[in-house]
Amino acid sequence: MSAYSIVQKGAPNTLTYREYFVGKNGYVSPIHDIPLYAHEDANTPIFNMIMEIPRWTNAKMEISKEEKLNPIRHDVKKGKVRFINNCFPYHGYIWNYGALPQTYEDPTHIDEHTQLRGDHDPLDVCEIGFRVQKCGTVVQVKVLGVVGLIDEGETDWKLIAIDVNDPLADDLHDIEDVEKFMPGLLKATNDWFKIYKVPTGKEPNTFAFHGKAKHKKFALKIIQQGNEQWRKVLQKKSEEVQLSLANTTVTGSPTLMSQEDAKAIVDKASPSGEAAAIPREVEKWYFVQG
C-alpha cells in the first residue's frame, strides 16, 4: 500500500482541478516533501516517482510549480486545458509519465553536456512497465538510462525507468536491456519527443548525443545533479525563483509551513465536481514528417 494518497479538488478536465498529496502526517508537497530515494543503494538505487500522466492518455497533467503544496493540475494553453495531440502512429503518451521528487533543472544553470539552461522543472521520467499507472500515485522505480531532449532550446532530461514490481524489472538493469527486451521502444521514444509539438506549429525537437540514450551510470549522475540543484534552490527566498518552496517536512527549510496552513490552502481550493467532457478534437490523428 502506498504511503501517499491524494485529495481531489475541482472538476477533472477543467481549470479548477487539483490533486493535493497527503502523507502519514498530513499534507505534503510532491516536489519537496516526498523523498527522492525509496531505497538508497550505490549500485541499484530505487527512486520514488510522482505519476502525472497515465499511458495512452492526452491530458497534460503536471505538478504545479507556482502554487503552494505543488498540487497536480492541468497544464493550460491559451486559457484552456491542454491536451497532447496524437501523432500517428501514437496515441497520447506512450509510457507512464511523471517526475522525480526533490530534483530540479535550474534555469540559471548551463548544462555541461548541452550548453543550454535547465527547463525549470523536476526531472521527467518515462516509466515503461506494462501497468497503466494512475495520476497522483507514487511509484517505486529503478532508472535504466536517460535521453537528452532539447525542448524549445532548453535542457530537458527524460529518464527511462521501470516500476520495480513490473514482471520485466528483474531483467532490465541498464539501457541496453531495454532494447533487448522491448525492441523499438527507445526509437519510438525519440520519435515521439521529436514531433509531439509539431501539430501546434512548433519545430521538431532535437537531442543531445544525436538522440542516443545514455546508460544508467550517466543517468544517476544527472539525478544527483538535479537533487543538488533542488537543495540549492530550496534555501533561496521564494521571490528569487518562480517555484513555490513551501513544504511541511524539510527541517531547516526557510519555507517550512504548518499543517494548519497547509490545510487552509486545500480548503480554499474549488470543491470537487463532475469531470467535464473531453473535446472531440482530442481524438484527431496528425500525420507528421519528423
Name the pLDDT band for 1 (thresholds 50, 70, 90).
low
pLDDT band at 59 (very low <50, low <70, confident <90, very high): very high
**Of 66, 118, 147, 115, nearest to 232 (Cα)?**
118
Q: What pTM value is reported for the model?
A: 0.96
Q: What is the DSSP string of 240-281?
A: GSSS---BSS-TT-TTB--HHHHHHHHHHSPPP-PPPPPPGG
The pLDDT value given to residue 240: 62
Question: Is residue 253 a contact partner of residue 237, using CB atoms and an 8 Å limit?
Answer: no
Amino acid, res. 20: Y
The pair phi, psi for residue 270, each rounded to 5°, is -60, 145
Q: How many CB atoms lie within 10 A of CB 218?
A: 15
187: enclosing H helix or E strand: helix 185-195
Q: Which one-letter DSSP state was computed for residue 229?
A: H
Element containing residue 28 per DSSP (H, E) = strand 26-28
What average pLDDT is seen over the chain?
95
120-165 residue pLDDT tens: 999 999 999 999 999 999 999 999 999 999 998 999 999 999 999 9
- Residue owning grid cell 506512450: 94
Residue 200 region by backbone torsions, left for phi larger than 0, else alpha for psi between -120 and 50, else beta: alpha
Give CA angle at 205 (204, 210), nearest 5°.
120
Pairing of strands 86-87, 206-207: unpaired
- List pLDDT tens digits, range 155-209: 999 999 999 999 999 999 999 999 999 999 999 999 999 999 999 999 999 999 9
Q: What Å distances lie between residue 107 and 69, 78, 91, 95, 121, CA to CA?
A: 21, 23, 31, 26, 9
Query: What is the H or E stretch that residue 157 is in?
Result: strand 154-163
